[in-house]
Structure 1
Amino acid sequence: MFNWVQNLADWLVYSVFGLQHGAHLSDALNFFIYDSIKILILLFVVIFFMGIVNSYFPIDKVRNFLSKNKFYGLEYLMASLFGVATPFCSCSSVPLFIGFVRGGIPLGVTFAFLITSPLVNEVAIGLFVGLFGIKTTIIYIVSGVILGMVSGIILQQLKLEQFLTPWVKEVLANAQREQDAFIAEKQTLKQRLPIIWTEVIKILKGVVPYVLLGIAIGGLMHGFIPEGFFEKYMSKDSPFAVPIATILAAPMYMNASGVLPVVQVLVSKGIPIGTAIAFMMGVVGLSLPEAMLLKKVMTLKLIGIFFGLVTLCIIISGYLFNLIL
């Protein structure tokens, strides 16, 4: 879908700027240009689409329906499966997260998507089958979906809406006021578009600085941290290898398909597969750039709770992988 963006980034970095292939600076800059364009496009499309949806469907009724009706956990399963179906990295998932929150989807259900989306996707699944076989791939998919569901359910029970930032609360209030006006005046879609467009631009202005800062940090990590830097800390003889691997993975930033070759190298060097997969999940699910993007929509306390719970679930999954495999 975004091949043209990668081609554009390659052209700018290697032809226009004349930087050398494989150099740290060129890798970092290429990553920054590609991810900036891709995520801003996603952000615009999602916010604009949700603006149209919100203008027709009452936010408070959607929220109340999902919160009060008994789905017996299916809403979390559906959110996690939707995360599997979206081939996005953690930072690319944030625009959808913002759209879900703006649309009145309960926070726990939204978290289930946000957690699962970077961990499991169809590209990673295809690579996983080729590298580790069907059995390991099935366990990986199921564990990723369960991780998203369990984390989402726990976070929903904690009633964390109060820790969303004032910016998010203002966006929600504006969306509700716009919708009330649309319904009262019975406006057509053509009449609604200028108001929706104004709100989209307003949201983008608030989010873009955080997006660019987060991607810049990710680009520096991507370009300047060697892939084999952390291998020496994941000794197969250490009982603490799984938590160490998970924590050391957080400063890195790659999507699941990008980090899988690294996982294969770790396994080939004798590191238990559960430890290697915990490292992979930490890379794609606990990235510092993602935290920088989330800072616009979550307070530091909520970010800490979110990352703390995901870290715990990844560590448990790593140990279970080592036991099973």
Structure 2
Amino acid sequence: MSRQFPSRDQLRQSIGRTRSMAFPTTERDRERRRIIIMCLPFFVLATFAGFVPLIVMARMSLSAENLENAGWSLAAWETLLTEPVYREIAWNTLWFATVATVVSVALGVVISHVLEKYSLPLENVLVAAVSFPIALPGIVVAFMVIVLLGRQGLVTNAVAVFTGSSAIDLATATTVFGLFLGYVYSLVPRATMVLRGTYAEVDTRAEEAARSLGATPLETFYHVTLPEIRPGIVAAFILTFRSALAIFGTVLILQALAVVTLRIDYEIGVGFNTQIAGAIGLVYALFLIAFTFVGLRFVSKGTVEI
């Protein structure tokens, strides 16, 4: 099959478009140039913070030598595909992140509904309190869980005093529950911030019409409000789920061994297996990219079926 080269006319058209971008003469060309200029910082950032690390991780996963990119080998990928422990870790990561995301988004819907539909005292303080965890690193969240639910935790010792039980037996900071609580505490603000923007666009006239026709608040929410905020729920789920997969500090500190999640730092810190760490990182990044593109298909109001 012969290779087709661009014709002379096609080359002239390409040169003309490039020249019009560099030296615009019409308003449409000027608008295109402004868009390109505004997008350049993003492409530069994506190149050095996204594409280059992905290429390095891919090369690392195929390296024949540990701690350096030398030679070629598929040993890391074979280990990742054949060792049952990695399938178990991947499964734990997915189900734990999914459950934490569902609970966080559900709480985000409740909080957003209350903040938008009711006039609350000290509302600005409540909003600040809800959004505060966004600024906290995962390690800080983990220590907060320990302060509350650890063996010397405030909640643990308070319950021990009233029940007469041992604080050691009641401590749940390093259990699945403690880890789950740390995840939800970090994820709820992210879901809430997205959903509050969605609630601001809800047609209140439709809700008022439903109430005037005798619908209960629950029926109004289910039949009128929920279809309108559903795109926001999907968007919140995408953002929250991606954030759940990226929480490493909380897992590192709480060390809930009953739910061993996907941790690249474990491969780097124990055994210094950089090849497997690179393979895990590449799978992780590609999964997030694919999940995001698939999820965005359901964000638009026109594509969400009621």
TM-score range, shorter chain: 0.3 to 0.5
Give the TM-score normalised by structure 1: 0.31
Q: If each structure's helix is expressed as a fraction of its own residues, which one has the higher value?
A: 1
